[in-house]
Structure 1
Amino acid sequence: MEVTRRQALTAVAGAAVGAAGAVGAVRLTEHLDEGTPLPFYGSPVSAVRPDRSPPSAGAATVVWGGPGDQRRVALTFDDGPHPQWTPRVLAALEAEDVPATFFCLGRNVRDHGSLHRDSVGRHELANHTFDHPDLGRHDWASCRDQVARTSRLMGQAYGAAPTLFRPPYGHLGGAAVLAAAELGLTTVMWSAQAREDLATGHPDRIVDDIASQVRPGSIVLAHDTGSDDRLVTIDRLRAIISRLRSDGYTFATVSDLLAPSRASATTPSHT
């Protein structure tokens, strides 16, 4: 009997969900080549719940930037908080009177959450998963666990759960989109970034490079922990801010950038 592609896909999905649950679907798809069919339900690319039950969200929001009608920009920092890096970033922002959005890892909030003790009400603290997995390889249940655990930890540490989420590496499968939407989070990518590899040997070039990418409404990606080359950006953060100001930009958190007409008592915009 000939087996159709649809029958093969459905059988793969049923085996993955029935025999091994959602985690089985992750293992199944981690090493697939282009010719191997993905399961209809339960794979990282699927935006449908593995059991095909109705989603608890009616829509998902993914953004790369804010409105382009004002010269406003949002600085964002991923992967912290970290005891050697985050205080340096916060000190530079304080010196320049600039707010920023920090996409935090849950494990770092657990271990170093007090570093953002004074950030609440000034900066925005957002969700970057618990331990930085590639969500492009994780199914709905795993994505949901990564994001939910982090939101729970952040709520306990800072008194309010985050409203924004950024996927590690910018890898965003359907399962991650669905999980974030069901948890009430807006997914935030970026439209400009600190490209430290282009400044090798000439670290001051990072200032001009970031400025060349920024447009009204840009969301700028940087990091407050990681490999040492990223210190090129941290060491020149005040210079970057000064350059953008000279180009006529003001600064906002991501939430304020996305809703410039809405006054926010908890994440104020500063010039």
Structure 2
Amino acid sequence: MEVTRRQALTAVAGAAVGAAGAVGAGRLAEHLGESTPLPFYGSPVSAVRPDRSAPSATAGSVVWGGPGGADGAGGAAGLRRVALTFDDGPHPEWTPRVLAALEAEDVPATFFCLGRNVRDHGDLHRASVGHHELGNHTFDHRDLGRLDWSACRDEIARTSGLMEKTYGSAPTLFRPPYGHLGGAAVLAAAEAGLTTVMWSAQAREDLVAGHPDRIVDDIASQVRPGSIVLAHDTGSEDRLVTIDRLRAIIGRLRSDGYSFVTVSELVAAGTAASSR
């Protein structure tokens, strides 16, 4: 009997999924030749459910910026807007410092929270609701590029459920740790009704080592209308370079003509412009 290429690949997939139980789905690539495709079902790169059932979402969205972010122009609406984002908190020492700087400058921001930190320090953001935006950054900051659909779904759902319980509403935005997205993570986020948010500018503390004040110019040099700026409110000590100069960064961007909005506001402006 002739075996079709699809049948052969499906057989390989089945064998690989079985192997995943022994070596882990995220390590499959290490055990397969580069000419052998990863499994159709069950691998981190697969954007279909492992049981082959229909997904509960028909579409999803991944964004890197808002209007004008691609070419540096002001966008259809001529808006010079930027969204500041902070990952990995809330942290009992760092997050209040960020919130204080934002309050002093009357600037909203978007915080992508870890579920475990919401569990331990959720009260830090109770006053943020309605002013700042709180997004999902998974529960344990695992690399979703190594996880299958079920594990990605659990990381996302566990965090959204806890955030809804803590803050009274579920998040609508999601950012994958490390910026790593496989098909399984894209599908899990879409099924959870979350917009996946990446970034188009970032705090590059490693590039200003020894000259911390240069972080202001470095961030300003990256920002364009529609930029989503990545920073952190916990982590390695060098990230304090940005936190300690947050007001100066805001002042510099304002002097360059930018105003500040949340990610959802930034994305909504693009949606409204494209619908005209």
The TM-score with structure 1 as length reference comes to: 0.90
User: 2:11 corresponds to which letter in structure 1?
Assistant: A
Give SS of 1:102's match: strand
Counterpart check, 1:124 vs 2:133: yes
The answer on whether the counterparts of 1:25 and 1:42 sit within 8 Å (CA) in structure 2 is: no
- Cα displacement (A) at 1:26: 1.8
Cα separation, partners in 2 of 1:22 and 1:77, compared to 1, 3 Å: farther
1:37 is aligned with what amino acid? P
Structure 2: stretches of 5+ with no match in the other structure? 69-74
CA separation in 2, counterparts of 1:259 and 1:47? 26
C-alpha separation in 1, matches of 2:27 and 2:265? 41
Aligned to 2:110: 101
For 1:33 and 1:231, how far apart are their aligned partners in 2? Answer: 42
Residue of structure 1 equivalent to 2:88: 79
Per-residue deviation, residues 226-254 of structure 1 (Å, max 9, x unmatched): 00000000000000000000000000000
Structure 1 unaligned runs (5+)?
264-271
- Indicate if the aligned counterparts of 1:16 and 1:28 stay in contact, CA closer than 8 A: no
CA root-mean-square deviation: 2.4
Residue 211 of structure 1 and its aligned partner are, at CA, apart by 0.2
Q: Which amino acid aligns with 2:98?
A: V
Q: CA deviation at 1:20?
A: 8.2
What's the % identity of the aligned pairs? 81
Label 1:32 to 1:16 Cα distance change in 2 as closer, same or farther (>3 A). closer
Of 202, 205, 210, 2:214 maps to 205
Deviations 1:54-99 (A, max 9, x none): 1110101000001122100000000000101100000000000000
- The alignment covers a number of residue pairs equal to 262
Provide closer, same or farther for how the CA distance between residues 32 and 77 of structure 1 changes in structure 2, counting only shifts above 3 A. Answer: farther
Offset at residue 32 of structure 1 (A): 3.9
Q: Which moved more, 1:114-123 or 1:4-13?
A: 4-13
| Matched residue, 1:173 | 182
> Take 1:42 and 1:10, find their aligned partners in 2: how far apart are those partners?
12
CA distance in 2, matches of 1:125, 1:238: 21
TM-score after normalising by structure 2: 0.89
Q: Secondary structure at the match of 1:260?
A: helix
Aligned to 1:247: 256
Deviation for aligned residue 1:134 = 0.7
Per-residue deviation, residues 141-164 of structure 1 (Å, max 9, x unmatched): 000000000000000000000000
The amino acid across from 1:99 in the alignment is P
CA contact (8 A) 2:152 2:188 kept: yes
Q: Is the 8 A contact 1:81 1:112 kept in 2?
A: yes
Q: Aligned pair in 2 of structure 1 residues 208, 2: CA closer, same or farther (>3 Å)?
A: farther
Q: Is the 8 A contact 2:143 2:178 kept in 1?
A: yes
Aligned counterpart, 2:51: 51
Any conservation in 2 of the 1:22–1:139 contact (CA below 8 Å)?
no
Name the aligned partner's letter for residue 43 of structure 1: S
